[in-house]
């Protein structure tokens, strides 16, 4: 069954939203407190963490929502067994608008996730920050941590087989709190490709392309604002 | 390679850069989690040494330059290059063996005196490069005093054989006893310390309930076995396991040189490119400090064994098997083992159908001198060796370790 999304205003059951999905496995556990936006292209589920991180997934799910005050109804079907969930809804808080637009993007790379997965799992958790360097010369794309033992740098050259696209306009060095980026590891593990973009403010946008078993594609997108402290030069 | 401790001694202030590249980075993996620092010494060869905080375990690995793809050591006339780094830091570089084997093609280690950093660079697939800048510290020379040649007993076997032998032991087991049993069998048996204060008053302490595991290896499994029946030592299993996993993966033979209980045991592996020594303290039968390594003193009261076939109710291990053994005891001690202060061995007749009786543990006989604290109970590996002290009222058994010898 293909992805099916509908935005239905007047249905017999008076649901303002009905959507269905074949395989819900891709809806990961990062969705704890989610705000759903139903659009023509699919449902965008937004999760926020301390107003600094935003993760979005475009997916489809059989959800029925009658409107304000009504619970969200989920219908999950597997092998003829149907599970019905009713989730009480809350008033949505305003989601942070990171105001990240493509026109402000300074640097962008697309990497095959295979190269990043282990690196991320081995990131020095003693380091508070992850520093991302994108430069026109070596090291091109560098992830750095600064822990008790010393510093570690992970360099990806622009001509690496893992690098699908490398667009760097100017050198940028930004630091992000590791604790905020760690949740994105889950998406990284599932993904086949990741795109990393930084804008003129140093805001980070990472998009993970996930191909599920049916061959369908969905995306998880993370936004993260840079750590306020000015990066010092480290050995 | 398994995880073992490596030490490097580094003198700070050196500006000479030392480079060595190891083609197979797995060779570096060996981090002993029980020690905190690693000392590196660069000379004509690379030496890595470590010791644990209680100074009861010491490891030293020497790598010939040929072990590396490229080795650039200090030029003649310069002082030895030494540094010490935190084990945890060094191990974190080689954290995932699976990842190392899959993605790392080359490992390059250099010392940057100017920035006081040990730089470890992993060259991975797809041109990816991982660089770790580890800070190091000043340290003193680390050298344990030991001489394998001075040990009267020795055995050598492929590490795989010994590795398989320790597999059945519980992972949490701290110590193991290794000894030579009847028929020149090599016996490994789990060792459980008695709980302090439990000896006299609680005959059913946890030791009695602990599971005891024992493995026997035939003499034919060993390439060399130079030890008499009856000798046995007890040492830390965790450290032994560490060395074993390294030696197994490198397909090496492991030699164990040992002496009397309490004297350090030396475990060696060797091939044309590397040399490894582990020196571990062994438990002494009288709780004394090990002379060279200063192993931690263990003070544990020991119950008095009664010279009857009926076990005294205060025996720390009111074990049926032990009682059975005591009852079965018909002969005393044995000539060969008497010269060794720690082990009791009895060639007395054993019930052939009771596997549990073979190499059954026995309690070393305690002192018979009134007023002196009883010696630590020493477990021997051998069948029925209750020994002469069964006749303790008549005087100390010649087979027993003297109880007052502790500080010897």
**A161-187 per-position pLDDT tens digit:** 999 999 999 999 999 998 888 888 888
Alpha carbons B202 and B28: distance in angstroms, whole number: 48
- Helices B159-166, B237-249: inter-axial angle, 10-degree rounding: 140
β-bridge mates for residue B283, sequence order: none
More confidently predicted of B339 and B405:
B405
Give the range among A45-49, B253-257, B357-361 with minimum mean pLDDT.
Answer: B357-361
Which residues in A lie closer than 8 A to residue B130 (C-beta atoms)? 119, 152-155
Q: Which residue from A minimizes the CA distance to B131?
A: A153
Alpha carbons B344 and B366: distance in angstroms, whole number: 12
Residue B324 has pLDDT above 50, yes or no: no
Residue from B251, B250, B189 nearest B380 by CA: B189
Report the residue from A139, A149, A235 with minimal CB separation from B88. Answer: A149
DSSP state letter for B233: E
Alpha carbons B286 and B299: distance in angstroms, whole number: 9
β-bridge mates for residue B40, sequence order: B48, B83
Report the residue from A148, A150, A157 with minimal CB separation from B117. Answer: A150
For position B375, what pLDDT does the model report? 39
For position A118, what pLDDT does the model report? 77
Report the residue from B127, B130, B131 with minimal CB separation from A157. Answer: B127
Residue A199 has pLDDT above 50, yes or no: yes
End-to-end CA, chain A: 54
Give the range among A207-216, B64-73, B177-186, B319-328 with minimum mean pLDDT.
Answer: B319-328
Which residues in B lie closer than 8 A to residue A111 (C-beta atoms)? none
Q: What is the dihedral of CA B86, B144, B41, A233, to 10 degrees?
A: 20
Measured in degrees and rounded to the nearest 5, phi and psi for residue B91 equal -65, -30
Q: H helices of B251-290, where?
A: none
Provide the CATH number for the domain formed by A105-224 in this structure: 3.70.10.10
For position A149, what pLDDT does the model report? 77
Which residues in B lie closer than 8 A to residue A153 (C-beta atoms)? 129-133
Measured in degrees and rounded to the nearest 5, phi and psi for residue A179 equal -60, -30
For position A19, what pLDDT does the model report? 55
Q: Which residue from A minimizes the CA distance to B115?
A: A235
More confidently predicted of A92 and A59:
A92
Give the ipTM.
Answer: 0.71
End-to-end CA, chain B: 39
What percent of chain A is modeled with pLDDT above 70? 69
Measured in degrees and rounded to the nearest 5, phi and psi for residue B389 equal -55, -10
CA of A150 to nearest chain B CA: how many angstroms apart? 5
Q: Which residue from A minimizes the CA distance to B98?
A: A118
Contacts of A79 (CB under 8 A, 6+ apart): none
Cβ <8 Å between B133 and A150: yes
Q: Where are the domains of chain A?
A: 17-88, 105-224
For position B317, what pLDDT does the model report? 34
- Residue B103 contacts residue B125 (beta carbons within 8 Å): yes
Report the residue from A115, A150, A162 with minimal CB separation from B135. Answer: A150
Alpha carbons B375 and B400: distance in angstroms, whole number: 10
Which residues in A lie closer than 8 A to residue B129 (C-beta atoms)? 139, 153-155, 157
- Residue A105 contacts residue A195 (beta carbons within 8 Å): no
Alpha carbons B53 and B37: distance in angstroms, whole number: 9
Alpha carbons B105 and B204: distance in angstroms, whole number: 56
Contacts of B96 (CB under 8 A, 6+ apart): A118, A121, A122
Cβ <8 Å between B133 and A152: yes
For position B285, what pLDDT does the model report? 77
Q: What is the DSSP pairing of strand B224-226 with strand B214-217?
A: unpaired
In B113-259, beta strands by DSSP E: 117-124, 129-135, 153-158, 175-181, 185-191, 214-217, 224-226, 232-236, 253-258
Residue B167 has pLDDT above 80, yes or no: yes
State whether residue B24 is helix, strand or coil.
coil
CA B77 centroid distance within chain: 38
For position A82, what pLDDT does the model report? 81
Whole-number Cα distances in Å, A79 to A23, A62, A82, B191, B199: 12, 16, 8, 54, 63
Segment B76-83 shows an average pLDDT of: 65
CA of A39 to nearest chain B CA: how many angstroms apart? 39
* pLDDT tens, position by position, B90-123: 888 887 777 888 888 999 988 877 788 889 999 9
Cβ <8 Å between A150 and B130: no
Residue B291 has pLDDT above 60, yes or no: no
Q: Which residue from B minimizes the CA distance to A150?
A: B134
Q: What is the DSSP pairing of strand B232-236 with strand B175-181?
A: antiparallel
State whether residue A155 is helix, strand or coil.
strand
CA of B29 to nearest chain A CA: how many angstroms apart? 16
Cβ <8 Å between A149 and B129: no
Which residues in B lie closer than 8 A to residue A157 (C-beta atoms)? 127-129
CB half-sphere exposure, B38, CA atoms < 13 A: 28
Residue A141 neighbours by CB distance under 10 Å: 23
* pLDDT tens, position by position, B207-259: 556 788 999 999 999 999 999 899 999 999 998 998 999 999 889 999 999 99
CA of A163 to nearest chain B CA: how many angstroms apart? 9
Alpha carbons B187 and B243: distance in angstroms, whole number: 19
A5-9, long-range: CB < 8 A, 24+ apart: A5/A38, A5/A40, A5/A41, A5/A42, A5/A43, A5/A60, A7/A38, A7/A39, A7/A40
Whole-number Cα distances in Å, A18 to A65, A70, A199: 7, 14, 36
B contact set with A (CB within 8 A): 86, 88-89, 92, 95-96, 99, 103, 115, 117, 126-135
Is the CB of A235 inside 8 Å of chain B's CB atoms? yes
Which residues in A lie closer than 8 A to residue B127 (C-beta atoms)? 156-157, 159-162
For position B256, what pLDDT does the model report? 95
CA of B276 to nearest chain A CA: how many angstroms apart? 26
For position B2, what pLDDT does the model report? 24
Whole-number Cα distances in Å, B98 to A206, B2, B25, B29, B32: 27, 12, 12, 11, 18
Q: Which residue from A minimizes the CA distance to B88?
A: A149
Cβ <8 Å between A149 and B135: yes
Cβ <8 Å between B128 and A152: no
The residue with tokens 């570089």 is B93
Mutation for B interface: A147, A150, A161, most B CBs within 10 A? A150
CA of A38 to nearest chain B CA: how many angstroms apart? 40
For position B41, what pLDDT does the model report? 66
Cβ <8 Å between B128 and A160: yes
Which residues in B lie closer than 8 A to residue A154 (C-beta atoms)? 128-131
For position B214, what pLDDT does the model report? 93
* pLDDT tens, position by position, A6-30: 333 333 345 555 555 544 444 443 3
Whole-number Cα distances in Å, A80 to A24, A75, B152: 15, 12, 74
Segment A195-221 shows an average pLDDT of: 87
């Amino acid at each position: 069954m293909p992805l099916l999304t509908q935005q239905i205003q007047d249905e017999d059951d008076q649901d303002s939203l009905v959507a269905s999905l074949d395989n819900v496995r891709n809806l990961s556990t990062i969705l704890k407190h989610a705000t759903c936006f139903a659009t023509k292209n699919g449902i965008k589920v937004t999760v926020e963490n301390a107003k600094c991180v935003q993760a979005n997934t475009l997916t489809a799910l059989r959800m029925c929502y009658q409107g304000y005050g009504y619970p969200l109804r989920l219908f999950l079907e597997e092998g003829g067994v149907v599970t019905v969930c009713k989730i009480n809804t809350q008033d949505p808080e305003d989601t942070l608008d990171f105001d990240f637009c493509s026109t402000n993007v300074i640097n962008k790379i697309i990497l095959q996730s295979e190269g990043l997965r282990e690196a991320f799992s081995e990131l020095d958790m003693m380091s508070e920050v992850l520093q991302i360097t994108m430069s026109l010369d070596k090291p091109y794309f560098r992830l750095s941590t600064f822990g008790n033992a010393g510093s570690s740098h992970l360099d990806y050259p622009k001509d690496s087989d893992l690098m699908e696209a490398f667009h760097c306009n100017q050198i940028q060095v930004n630091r992000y709190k590791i604790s905020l980026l760690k949740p994105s590891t889950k998406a990284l593990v599932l993904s086949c490709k990741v795109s990393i973009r930084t804008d003129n403010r140093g805001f980070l946008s990472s998009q993970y392309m996930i191909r599920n078993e049916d061959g369908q594609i969905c995306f998880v997108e993370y936004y993260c604002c840079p750590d306020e402290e000015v990066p010092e030069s480290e050995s | 390679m398994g995880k073992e401790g490596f030490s490097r001694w580094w003198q700070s202030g050196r500006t000479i850069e030392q480079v060595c590249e190891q083609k197979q980075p797995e060779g570096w993996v060996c981090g002993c989690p029980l020690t905190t620092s690693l000392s590196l010494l660069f000379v004509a060869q690379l030496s890595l040494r470590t010791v644990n905080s209680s100074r009861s375990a010491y490891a030293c690995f020497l790598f010939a330059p040929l072990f590396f793809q490229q080795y650039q050591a200090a030029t003649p006339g310069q002082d030895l290059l030494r540094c010490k780094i935190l084990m945890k830091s060094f191990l974190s570089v080689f954290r995932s063996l699976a990842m190392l084997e899959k993605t790392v093609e080359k490992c390059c280690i250099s010392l940057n005196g100017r920035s006081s950093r040990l730089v470890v660079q992993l060259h991975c697939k797809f041109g990816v490069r991982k660089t770790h800048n580890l800070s190091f510290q000043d340290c003193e020379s680390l050298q344990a005093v030991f001489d394998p040649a001075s040990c009267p007993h020795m055995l050598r076997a492929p590490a795989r054989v010994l590795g398989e032998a320790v597999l059945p032991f519980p992972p949490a087991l701290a110590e193991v006893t290794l000894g030579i049993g009847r028929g020149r069998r090599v016996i490994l048996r789990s060792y459980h310390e008695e709980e302090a204060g439990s000896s006299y008053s609680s005959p059913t302490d946890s030791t009695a309930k602990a599971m005891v595991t024992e493995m026997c290896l035939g003499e034919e499994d060993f390439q060399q076995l130079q030890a008499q029946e009856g000798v046995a030592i007890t040492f830390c299993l965790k450290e032994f396991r560490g060395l074993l996993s390294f030696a197994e993966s490198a397909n090496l033979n492991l030699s164990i040189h040992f002496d009397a209980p309490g004297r350090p045991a030396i475990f060696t592996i060797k091939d044309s490119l590397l040399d490894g020594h582990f020196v571990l303290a062994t438990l002494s039968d009288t709780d004394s400090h090990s002379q060279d390594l200063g192993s931690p003193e263990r003070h544990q009261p020991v119950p008095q064994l009664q010279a009857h076939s009926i076990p005294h109710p205060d025996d720390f291990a009111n074990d049926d098997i032990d009682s059975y053994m005591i009852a079965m005891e018909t002969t005393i001690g044995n000539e060969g083992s008497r010269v060794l202060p720690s082990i009791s061995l009895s060639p007395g007749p054993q019930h052939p159908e009771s596997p549990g009786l073979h190499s059954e543990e026995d309690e070393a006989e305690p002192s018979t001198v009134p007023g002196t604290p009883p010696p630590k109970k020493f477990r021997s590996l051998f069948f029925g060796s209750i020994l002469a002290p069964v006749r303790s009222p008549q005087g100390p058994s010649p087979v027993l370790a003297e109880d007052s010898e502790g500080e010897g």
